[in-house]
Amino acid sequence: MIVATNLCFRTIPTTCTTVKQQKDPPHQLNLVIPTKTKACECFDLHKELIPYEKAWSWQKQIVKQKKSLLQEHEDCPDTLIVLQHNPVYTMGTGSSENYLNFDVKEAPFDVYRTERGGEVTYHGPGQLVMYPIINLRNHKMDLHWYLRTLEEVVIRVLSSTFSIKASRIEGLTGVWVGNQKLAAIGIRVSKWITYHGLALNVTTDLTPFSWIVPCGLRHRQVGSIKGLLQEFQSSRQYAEAIKPFPDDYQLIDISYRSLIKEFSEVFNLEIHQKAITVPEFWREDH
């Protein structure tokens, strides 16, 4: 399930620019579009717990702004938001309540039905959520390509930073390690502007997933980076290779920096960090 002979948590700079592409091995999909590098503003709230409803409203506000820019034939730069959520369940447009293992009127956490695709999932502390709000006209106007490219970002993060061999499963959206799903993806695209995005379980408490049928898949499991690394650490063969084991905060930071780097590379974007503090976020009309 995990392939490595020596696990090394690589140091990745917080502010990343696009790096020169390397040729993908034959077994990998070459999803990178060789176009001129474009700028992408990144709102970094990866250490913060942001209420789902606030972040959802913020995304829709940004989408509206980008549509206005397109109508005025002005440049429409890309945006990336990275954060964590307070515990919450979200459902896609056509999600079935049959996948909830509780009475929705007595839900353990708030439940939101959104306009994204996919079935029910859980968001909570220890899970990094990436919301790319990008203009696919600047990349490739192909939703299949976009979904596979989001998967590619996570697959590269797991491989390059944690030596975890992840893969796709034909017919299913997301990123898997064996039978465990580590990253869920659900998107909405309006006039070729994307929103919603992906959620990667880093140090997430997986218990709340047992109260739903995640993504409507009854015979699949949910996993996390921390859980896999602990399995890895328990192996005598590799026990000495991964000491000291990073704590939860370190794992979140390592994963965040890797996500930014790989997102920048795969989408051929130059990331510009745009600082926003939690007090500023709350003052904004999101």
CB 82 within 8 A of CB 129: yes
Alpha carbon distances (Å) from 161 to 35, 150, 211, 245, 271: 26, 17, 31, 14, 19
Verify whether residue 215 is a known catalytic residue.
yes
For residue 132, how many C-alpha atoms fall within 13 Å in the half-sphere facing its CB? 30
Say whether the peptide bond before residue 208 is cis (omega within 30 degrees of 0). Answer: no
What angle is formed at CA 212 by the lines to CA 96 and CA 44, rounded to 5 degrees? 100
**Assigned token pair, 12:** 């990745």
Give me the catalytic one of 16, 40, 42, 215: 215
What angle is formed at CA 157 by the lines to CA 49 and CA 22, rounded to 5 degrees? 140
Residue with tokens 């106007």: 141
> What b/e string do you get for 213-223 counting C-beta neighbours within 10 Å, with b at 16 or more?
bbbbbeebebb
- Per-residue DSSP letters for 1-16? ----SS-------SS-
- Determine the Cα–Cα distance for residues 226 and 26; give it in Å rounded to an integer: 29
CB 52 within 8 A of CB 286: no
- Determine the Cα–Cα distance for residues 153 and 265; give it in Å rounded to an integer: 9
Q: Which residues are catalytic?
A: 215
